[in-house]
Structures are given as structure tokens and as C-alpha cells.
Amino acid sequence: MSFFTADNLAIHFGGIKAVDGVSFEVNKGEVFTIIGPNGAGKTTIFNLVSRIYEPTAGRLTFDGMDITNVAPHRIAALGIARTFQNIELFEHATLLQNLLLARHAHKKSGFFAELLFLPSVQRMELEHREAVEKAIDFLDLQQYRDSFIVNLPYGVRKVTELARALCTDPRLLLLDEPSSGLNVEETEDMAFWIQDIRDLLGITVLMVEHDMSLVSAVSDRVLALNYGRPIALGTPGEVQAHPEVIRAYLGG
Amino acid sequence: MRFIFKTSYVQDIRLFRDQVDASWYGLLAVAVLALPFVMSEYYIGESTWVFIYGICGVSLMVLVGYTGLVSLGHAAFLGIGAYAHAFFLKHGMPWIPSVVLAVMITTASGIVVGLPALRMTGIYLAIATLAFSVIIQEVFSRWESVTHGFAGMPVEKPTILGVAFDDERSFYYLCLFFLALTLWLTRNLLRAPTGRAWIAIRDSEIAAQSMGVNLAIYKSMAFAYSAALMGLAGALFAHKIAYLAPDIFTILLSIQFLLLVIVGGLGSLHGAIFGAIFVALLPPAIAILRDSIPASMADAAQATGVGAFGVLGEAIGNFLKKPGVEAGIFGLILVLVILLEPLGMYGRWLKIKLFFSTFPMYKASTFKRQKTYMRSERLR
């Protein structure tokens, strides 16, 4: 039984088959990357996994549990966290507040306890803070802790989103184009972090990425999509050499 | 410039940032407590309005400023609180249970109104709450067995646990107590997971959801809490105004509340208080100017011998006496605030504070926002 399975996953928007019968399995502790030309349905798969979209057909299984019909806000508590292609941070809050919000799935306090800010709530807050500080240390965000997101540069926001996803204590991390908009140096940092997330934190990573140097640097396996259908699956080298993939990218 | 050296995580969840901050608030508390002894009866009464509007402001700030949901129906919640409280008092219920029940009823109505909010945003939600407000106003005027319709409903001065709050000064302290309580409770929520969830919903619903926030529950909670505070304010409002009539709780009052939070500064509790001071004190200020401008201009005309001063003063006085001028001035200020200071009075306050704490190094460009990238697409 693999860690995460998408079985014959499909979603149709009207007549458009954005994702059309995609099946794949992600093993525990690997970095699994989905590549494909624009509009291939990569991000749509992410939105299906994080339950923002309702699949037309197919099944999603995570750690032996069917998550096809789980409510979107329950996904985080199950241990699946994600980042967004067009950064979705809470812009008018500080970086610290952003990361603390990611601890929401682990919240245990009730409304009235919070209303009075009882000692139990304070203890929980300190626990959350310690978890958040670990992510801040891991990704070197110390100096931005109290900055508002609107005032942060793009690269830092991108890392903040990664940090926020890590703060939910995920077992499966969905990264939607982690290197988009980053310069070469920042992309290299990102590659190291993704490897560290897999090797040191033991988190399985499912990634959508365009930057082939990043893909080949960190991926264990790669799935190539085109027009919502899988065209190749294998190691980064195998997939890049696959004639179908070359045709999808270069035409012909 | 003061640098706060942090040695413990506890420092970040305290009520006050540090000793210096706490002592400033202490000073403010002493000043507010001492004010009734140096002010005339009239000004004590006007200050009481600041406190009641302050509670309303905090209520709307939670909803608009923190959760990002617009409401044009908050006057209806105020009315429900006021009428419920007045009704229970009239039927001989003691003050405290009466207020508790009034707050509970408003909370329930807040949840009911909040339900469509789960599906609607922005202008659509504003229209839905507006409709609610109109319906409730109609109920106030038609349900005569409870509200006495347009005949009105007198409300007596409060007596709590045998203590009568029958003069301006004691009522001032009563309202001050409830405002302080409101601020404390709301601040607690805002530094706890619930407040963060509200802020998250305001800034990105989709990310909030992916982080485990149940949108439906937290939006209803924001509506319920906001309505509850409005109910409390309504109870005090009923005593303050002493005579309830349906035409008090109109759409204009709701707009005034919205104006309060925008002028005060969205997204800060300070803003709610600044806004309350502004909204409560502008009408008396206009009333004072109405009389004092012609008088002082006439004096100036006599002293300098230039008759034009007197004519000008007379003209300004007459203009301020015209009906609708007050609403016009409110509207003008709202437009100017949105254009010139989108963070409202609280934003201005931050700038003034920074000016003094960094003097003489202050740069006007500190607060300039850099234009950042645009979002190419956004999930709804």
C-alpha cells in the first residue's frame, strides 16, 4: 500500500477535461514531481488533492484513508499541507501570525477559554510558538519575524509560504511551483531545503515544477502530464528523454 | 527610539508590549477615570456617547476590520439589543439578567444573519445585511405589543443590584466599564487562534481553509460575536437615549458605524476608539462652531473695523445651521480619509508616534508602500 494514491482522477469544467484519468502513487519519503506544459492540469491536481475542487471521478487515498470526500478544512489536520503558485499569504498580518495560523489544525482551545485568555490558552500559544520557531530556524526567517507580509520581497514570501506549510506538521507536503519567480540563487536554496525536508524532517513531497534543473536535482520520480493526461512516469532522466514529453514541450 | 529586547515568548502574547506601554495605558485609565470631576454635566454625557460608540466600533471592527465581512445592518443589532433590554426591564426583570438575555437574543440574530455570509462576500453581503436591517426596522414599528411602535418606549435609568446609576457621572463609569471589558475580551480573542483565523479569512480564504480553518464556523462566529457586542451596546444605548423609537435604528446609523471604523482605521482596536471619538464628538463640535464662529467673527469685525469678517461669519453660521450639513461633513471627511489616509486616524497616530520616537530621523517615505507584483490569477 503506497503512501498517497490518486486513482483514475478526473475533473471536467463543462466540456474541458482539465484532468482526465490520472493515476499515480507516491511512496513514503520521496519527492514526486509533476511536470507538464502550461494548462496541463498540474495545479488542478493540487486543488483536487487539497479538496478545493470536487473531482468528477476517481479516488484519492492518503495513508490508507480515502480522502476523496473529506472537507477542505480537515485536510490540514490529516497531515497534508500545501503552498500556492500565486502566493496566498495573509498579507496584512506579520510573518509570525502567518505561521501561527498554520498551527490552527492543532488548536485545542475553546471560544470561551480564548475570550478570557485562560492559562491553558497561554500554554497552547507558547507551544505553538515553539513549533513555529523551529520552522523559522529551519528556513532562516528570523529577521523577518515581525514584518508584515506586504512589506516583504517576493523571495522571502515564497519561503514564508513554505514555512507556513511546514508549521502544520505535515506528512505530505504539496509544493506548487516552489521556484517560480525566484532567481538562480534562491532556487538553489529552495532545492537544498526540499532535500532537507525529505531527508531531515522525513516529509514526503509532491511537487509541481517547471524549472527542470530543480526537478532533476531533487526529484526521485517524475510524472509528465499533457492536456490532463499522463504521458510519462519515471526518474527525471527517463522522463526528460521520453519522446512524448519532448513532443509535448517542443511540438511536432 | 526604543528597542524592545525579547528574552521570552511570553513577551509576545502579553496584553501590553512592555512596562512603558502598560504605564501609558495606566495613565490613560487614570485620566479617563478623573475626567468626570473636571467636566461639566453636558460633556460627561457626550463622553458617554464615545464609550457606547466605542463598543459599537469594536463590534464592527471585528467583522469588517478583522474578518473582512461588510455589514450595513448593524443598527438593527443595536436596535434588537436596545428593545430586548427595554422590554425585559419593563416586565420587571433585574438589570443583569436582562442584559444577558438581550445579548443572547442579538447573538442568535447575528448567527441567523451570518448564515448567508457563508456564501456571499463584498457588495452582496452588504445588500443582504441592509435588507435585514430594513426588515428589522419594520418589525420595530409594527410589533406594537413589544416595541410600542412609533408611540415609542421609555427606558428608565439603570439600577444594578440595588445601586442606581441615575446621574450622568455614574452612567459614564458604567459605560466605561463595559467598553474596557469589551476591549479586553476582544483583544484576548485577537491574540488567540480565533482572532488569527478571522484575519486569515480576511486576507485569503483559500489559504485559511487549507490551513484547517473551517470558514463556515469562523464566519458565523465573527457575526455572532459582533452582534453580541452590538446587543450590549444597545442595552446601554437604550438607557442613554431614554426613549426608543423605530426611526432611530435606520440605515443612516449603520452607515455611521461603518464610517466610524473606516475613519478610525480598519484592522485595529485603537481605530475603533479613535473612530468613536470622532463620530460621537463631531455633531457637538459642529453645534458649538455654529454659534461660536459668527460670534467670534463679529468680534473680529468690530476690533479691526473690517465689516467683511462679520458678513463671512454670519454666512458660515447660517450654512452650518442648514439641515443635512452634518451628514455632508461626515461624507466629505470619509472621502478625504479614504483618499489621503487609508489607514484612518490610527494610521496617522502611528506616524506621529514614529515621528517622535525617531526624531530627528523621521522620513515621510517610511510608510510608503512599494508596489509589488500583481496576482495573475486568484482562486475563489
SS3 B78: helix
User: Are A88 and B199 a contacting pair at CB < 8 A?
Assistant: no
Q: Which amino acid is at B286?
A: I
pLDDT of B380 = 44
User: Are A92 and B203 a contacting pair at CB < 8 A?
Assistant: yes
Please say if the pLDDT value at position B365 is more than 50: yes
Question: Are A167 and A99 within 8 A, CB to CB?
Answer: yes
Residue A26, C-alpha cell as written in the block = 507516491
pTM for this predicted structure: 0.91
pLDDT of B301 = 83
Question: Which residues 6+ apart lie within 8 Å of B158 measured at CB?
Answer: B95, B164, B165, B171, B174, B239
Please say if the pLDDT value at position A181 is more than 90: no
**Domain count along chain A:** 2
| B271-283 average pLDDT score | 92
| A35-48 average pLDDT score | 90
Q: Which amino acid is at A96?
A: L
User: Which of A120, A149, A167 corresponds to the end of one domain?
Assistant: A167
| A98-114 average pLDDT score | 92
| A–B interface: beta-carbon pairs under 8 A | 122
Same domain, A73 and A180: yes
Q: Which amino acid is at B168?
A: E
Distance from the Cα of B47 to chain A's closest Cα (Å) equals 27
Same domain, A205 and A102: no
CATH at A223:
3.40.50.300
Question: Per residue in B55-104, pLDDT tens?
Answer: 999 999 999 999 999 999 999 999 999 999 999 999 989 999 999 999 99
Same domain, A162 and A142: yes
Residue A133 belongs to domain spanning: 89-167
| B292-305 average pLDDT score | 83
pLDDT of B1 = 65
Question: Per residue in B111-157, pLDDT tens?
Answer: 998 887 778 877 888 999 999 999 999 999 999 888 888 888 988 88
Question: Per residue in A27-36, pLDDT tens?
Answer: 999 999 999 9
Domain annotation covers residue A36 = yes
Query: Is some CB atom of chain A closer than 8 A to the CB atom of B90?
Result: no
Identify which of B12, B13, B203 has the shortest CB distance to residue A90.
B203
SS3 B242: coil
| A29-58 average pLDDT score | 91
Using the structure block, give the residue that is written with the C-alpha cell 520552522. Answer: A135
Domain annotation covers residue A142 = yes
Please say if the pLDDT value at position B2 is more than 90: no
Substitution target from A92, A96, A143 for chain B, most B beta carbons within 10 A: A92
Domain annotation covers residue A222 = yes
Question: Per residue in B209-245, pLDDT tens?
Answer: 999 999 999 999 999 999 999 999 999 999 999 999 9
Domain annotation covers residue A84 = no
Same domain, A75 and A191: yes
Domain annotation covers residue A95 = yes
User: Which of A107, A134, A167 corresponds to the end of one domain?
Assistant: A167
DSSP 8-state assignment for residue A144: G
* Average of per-residue pLDDT values in chain B: 88
| B242-262 average pLDDT score | 91
| A73: Cα separation from own chain's centroid | 15
- Strands of the sheet containing A221-226, edge to edge, are A80-82, A172-176, A204-208, A31-35, A221-226, A229-234
Please say if the pLDDT value at position B378 is more than 70: no
User: Are A90 and B377 a contacting pair at CB < 8 A?
Assistant: no
| A114-134 average pLDDT score | 93
Please say if the pLDDT value at position B371 is more than 70: no
User: Which of A106, A132, A167 corresponds to the end of one domain?
Assistant: A167
Same domain, A244 and A180: yes
Q: What is the ipTM of this complex?
A: 0.92
Percent of chain A with pLDDT over 70: 99
CB contacts of A97 in chain B (<8 Å) are 196, 199
Please say if the pLDDT value at position B346 is more than 80: yes
| B266-272 average pLDDT score | 92
| B375: Cα separation from own chain's centroid | 33
CB contacts of A93 in chain B (<8 Å) are 196, 199-200, 203
